[in-house]
């Protein structure tokens, strides 16, 4: 009996030999950053689309590269690391949207070859994508859902503006974009404020 016990004792795995478990690194919520990048870039471009401040369109191009594009895409990658499928898809996709917008604006020959019809189809694709994301957003919170509903309508108006050559639709898209940008900016503000204060200071109206 003693020899069997000694044998079992010798073959039993020792806790000391188990490989160490990697420490879990907590990643801060990148959502407020991604929303801020989206909001400010949208506001700048919408000022130009609404014909309020034409010069804002030029400023929106550089913003589209560094803040709306690269920063928002980075927020999407951090959402992947956090396991947030919705946030990862939204921020990475719209980051790519702003990068493609920057490319179109800085390569006039590409935009010229595309023409209004090509840009209209491009915007139509983003309208459809945003409409699908709006369905998913219904399980997030009221503030985020409002952003996606407004963005869908904004894209639809801009699509009509390019496909039909309707200046009024483009201007309407600009005004809708301003409301969308302000709503996204509020949602970003609420996210960072509530996380910093560790309580609900600004409502976002959870729906999940």
pLDDT for 7 beyond 70:
no
Is the pLDDT confidence value at 193 over 70?
Answer: yes
Beta bridge partners of 206: 141
Give the tens place of pLDDT for each residue, 43-93. 999 999 999 999 999 999 999 999 999 999 999 999 999 999 999 999 999
Long-range contacts from 195-204, C-beta under 8 angstroms, 24+ separation: 195/28, 195/29, 195/32, 203/143, 204/141, 204/142, 204/143, 204/144
C-alpha distances (whole Å) from 102 to each of 67, 77, 97, 176 are 11, 20, 9, 21
Q: Where are the domains of the chain?
A: 31-196
> How many CA atoms lie less than 13 Å away from 112 in the CB half-sphere?
4
Q: Is the pLDDT of residue 123 over 70?
A: yes
Q: What is the pLDDT of residues 137-154, one digit of tens each?
A: 999 999 999 999 999 999
What does pTM read for this prediction?
A: 0.88
């Amino acid at each position: 009996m003693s020899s069997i016990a000694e044998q079992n004792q010798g073959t039993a795995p020792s806790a000391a030999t188990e490989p160490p478990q990697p420490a879990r690194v907590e990643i801060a919520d990148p959502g407020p950053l991604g929303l801020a990048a989206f909001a400010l870039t949208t506001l700048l471009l919408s000022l130009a689309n609404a014909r309020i401040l034409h010069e804002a369109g030029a400023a929106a191009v550089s913003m589209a590269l560094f803040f709306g594009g690269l920063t928002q895409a980075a927020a999407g990658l951090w959402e992947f690391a956090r396991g947030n499928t919705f946030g990862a898809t939204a921020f990475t996709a719209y980051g790519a949207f702003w990068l493609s917008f920057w490319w179109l604006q800085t390569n006039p020959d590409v935009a010229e070859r595309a023409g209004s019809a090509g840009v209209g189809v491009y915007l139509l694709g983003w309208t459809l994508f945003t409409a699908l994301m709006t369905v998913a957003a219904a399980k997030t919170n009221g503030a985020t859902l409002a952003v996606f509903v407004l963005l869908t309508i904004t894209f639809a108006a801009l699509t009509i503006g390019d496909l039909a050559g309707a200046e009024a639709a483009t201007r309407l898209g600009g005004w809708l974009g301003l409301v969308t940008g302000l709503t996204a900016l509020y949602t970003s503000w609420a996210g960072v404020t509530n996380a910093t204060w560790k309580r609900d200071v600004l409502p976002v109206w959870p729906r999940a």
